[in-house]
Structure 1
Amino acid sequence: MQPGATGQDLSPNATLHREAPGARVRVFDPALCCSSGVCGPEPDAALIRFAADLDWLRSSGVPAQRHNLGQDPGPFAAEPLVRRRLGTRGMGCLPMVLVDGEVLTEGRYPTRAELEARLAEQARRTRGKDTATSGEVMP
């Protein structure tokens, strides 16, 4: 049988989504003219890399939202954790990336490896909760 003949998506991205099915990523950017990193006279390599990593996450089926303080300030006020960190650290805490409401990074963008590691950790937690509530014994 050829890969994919079962109708399953066998790509690494599909595996990521299956392993962390409920994961959600939220990015709180400082005020930026654009999130791609290619605007202005000198492109920002970190923004370009991170934009590609978010595209990768989305193509994996992991919901990822991005909020720009200059264009979309409402979510900054509505998210208690972000609001508290802004109150204590000021703008130095941005960018802040949350995975399922927990801080992954603040003051910098995470690497793809950090995103993968946190999503794998979330998947282990989810599997542990599912196993604990199903009455099965965890290994």
Structure 2
Amino acid sequence: MTQIKIYEGTSSCATGQMESGLVADLARISMATRTLNQREDVQLVRYDLMQDGSQFICDQRVADLIAAKGGAALPITMVDNEIVKQGRYPTTPELTRYCDGTSVTL
């Protein structure tokens, strides 16, 4: 089973507003989470810094990245316990690649 973990920061900026690109990314990742978790061969888990803070220190690599780069490191994507992307959400083609090339239809 392919396991994908996405460690996310806060979803809004200091003013309480989100950039339109971030809104689109969050919507796409939410849909991908629902779609992929219906499959038997993939599990996608998202961790929110505010709600799941302990998960960010459970993996030393994630903690080290955040210590080195701060919030710019987020989101961090891990696939099968390896960091594969940081600073941006994975694209749909990247999600497809992470799922052994099986098409991800969103």
Q: Give unmatched runs, 5+ long, in structure 1.
A: 1-21, 34-39, 122-139
**Aligned-partner Cα distance in 1 for 2:72–2:5:** 17
Higher relative contact order (CA 8 A, sep 6+): 2
Asked if 2 retains the 8 angstrom alpha-carbon contact of 1:27 and 1:67, the reply is: yes
Q: Which runs of 4+ in 1 moved over 6 A?
A: 40-43
Tell me the residue number matched to 1:75. Answer: 55
Cα distance change on mapping 1:84 and 1:116 into 2, 3 Å: same
Cα distance change on mapping 1:60 and 1:94 into 2, 3 Å: same
Q: Give unmatched runs, 5+ long, in structure 2.
A: 102-106
Secondary structure of 2:55's counterpart equals: helix
**Aligned-partner Cα distance in 1 for 2:73–2:62:** 9
Amino-acid identity (%): 27
Tell me the residue number matched to 1:48. Answer: 27
- Which one has the bigger strand percentage? 2
Instruction: Give 1:68 deviation, angstroms.
Output: 0.5
- Taking structure 1 as the reference length, the TM-score comes to 0.61
Aligned AA for 1:88? A
- Which one has the bigger helix percentage? 1
Structure number with bigger Rg: 1
Asked if 2 retains the 8 angstrom alpha-carbon contact of 1:31 and 1:71, the reply is: no
Is 1:25 matched up with 2:4? yes
Number of aligned positions between the proteins: 95
Instruction: Give 1:53 deviation, angstroms.
Output: 1.3
Query: RMSD value over aligned CA atoms?
Result: 2.2
Matches within 5 A, 1:88-99: 88-99=68-79
- Taking structure 2 as the reference length, the TM-score comes to 0.78
Instruction: Give 1:75 deviation, angstroms.
Output: 0.4
